[in-house]
Structures are given as C-alpha cells and as structure tokens.
Amino acid sequence: MLNILFIGEANGKIGRRAIQELLPGLKKELKPDLVILNADNLAHGNGVSEATIKEMITAGVDAFTGGDHCFGNIGSLNVYDNDLPLLRPANYSEKAPGKGFIVLETNGHKILLISLIGQVFMSMDHNNPFHKADEILSNLANNNLSAIIIDMHAEATSEKIALAHYLDGRVSAILGTHTHIMTADARISESGTAAISDVGMTGLADGVIGVDKAGIIKTFLTQIKTTHIIPETGRAIFSAVLLTIDPKTKKAKSIKPIIKYINIK
C-alpha cells in the first residue's frame, strides 16, 4: 500500500514552523511514502520563495501544489523555472511560468500529482479545470502509475464536489484547498476515489483563517479593508489528510483527516 500525507496550505512563517515541529514525528508515526504541501501562502501568506520551498524540503516535504496566490511574490517568480517539485495550477494561462503536474517516483512507484484551480468566485478567468484534467489524464493516466492525486484549489464547494464526481474512478484522490477550514466530508466513492472538500490550513489557529483577528473584525465593523497581519507566534493548527492507496489498482482504501495544535514561540 502507498501512504500519502497531504498537508493543507501553510500560511506564513507560523505555518512553516508548525510543519517543522510536527512533521518529523508524524513521518515516524505514519511512515508516508510521499508528503505533499499546498504552498499557496507559504511566503508570509502570499506565494512562495526559493528559501521557503527549500525550508520545507528540509523539513520533510516532497512536493508542492499551488493556488490563486502562487504568483503573489512577484520577486520570486523565477522559482517556478527551477528544478523544484513545485506546481502552479495547470489551468493557469499557458504563458504563466512553471508546470501544473508532475510524476513523482517513490519506493518504485510513480505518482501523478496535478494542481488545479477553480473558476467559480475566483478572481482570475482561469481555464476550465474539468477540461484540463481530461487533457492531462488522457496523456498520462496509463503511464504505469500507482496513484493519481489532484489538488483542487477552489472557493465553491459545489465545484470541488462536481469535479470529484466527474473524475470518479479515474483518479485516486481529489483534495480541496483554498478556504482554510477543514470540511467534515472526507469519503471514498464506490469506485475508489477519495475526496474531501477542503483539507484546511496550517497556520495561526486563533485568527481568522490564518490572519490576525483584530484587523479582520475591524474590516467587518467599518467596511474599510485593513492590512492583513500574520503573527509569527501563537497557537498554530496543522491540518492534513493521510491517504492509503492500492498501487495495483490506484484505488484509495482510506482517507484519514489529521488536525493537531501546537504553540509556536
């Protein structure tokens, strides 16, 4: 069996530190063959940098998916041209740097990892994720793969669930990200596809989806947008799911939500 640990998007330094503190112990306990992290908010809540990616690789992460903030750190766009296991959504413009999928090899197994982004309620006019998934799978699905994992970064739960139904039986797992709150719908279909509408976030636990609560509350009270502040210390939440997949059939056997809290000083 293949064990794959997927960590919900890390938000800023406090999220990275939570991973550094908790991941080594989890790897000893769970023995994952692969660790994947959504890196959309890795560099202070806005995209990535080469330093933060390498920091997470050192902590034990094997590959990274993206989302609507993946190009937020304008000064680090060249990181997508480096030979790093870093993805941006495959259905971004073809003119965007980077790649949207990767075949990872671990313990003699090939795992196809795809990063997608939704269209509903999202700020950019992204290409259709359903069509892009079809395109990628038609080219790679029969390439002696042991598992196919999709990160669907989207606002609308309906869009994530619809994609899970559309790709049912064709992929091992569809894992939702973006809304920063883990949903209570982790499941496996009769066809062997695991799904969850949102894996949740790894970052500040006592804020508002990873941001200091005072400024967010002020925005709701005054209707004037305030600067988002991400504290570097405090209580952090670590959100993830552990997938167990049969490499002979690419079917999921289990999906286990994981939530842990840790004080970051």
Catalytic residue annotation: 69
Q: Are 185 and 214 in contact (CB under 8 A)?
A: no
Q: In sequence order, which residues have a C-beta less than 8 Å from that of residue 79 and are 6 or more positions away?
A: 48, 49, 50, 53, 86
Q: What are phi and psi of 244, to 5 degrees?
A: -115, 125
Strand extents, DSSP E, 30-146 = 34-38, 63-65, 101-106, 109-117
**Distance from the Cα of residue 203 to its chain's centroid:** 13
Q: SS3 breakdown of the chain: % helix, strand, coil, rounded to 5?
A: 25, 30, 40
How many Å is the maximal CA-CA distance in the chain? 56
How far is 215 from 205, CA to CA, in rounded Å? 15
How far is 230 from 21, CA to CA, in rounded Å? 19
Write the burial class of residue 221 (CB in 10 Å: 0-12 exposed, 13-18 middle, 19+ buried): exposed
Q: In sequence order, which residues have a C-beta less than 8 Å from that of residue 37 and are 6 or more positions away?
A: 6, 7, 9, 10, 19, 56, 61, 63, 64, 65
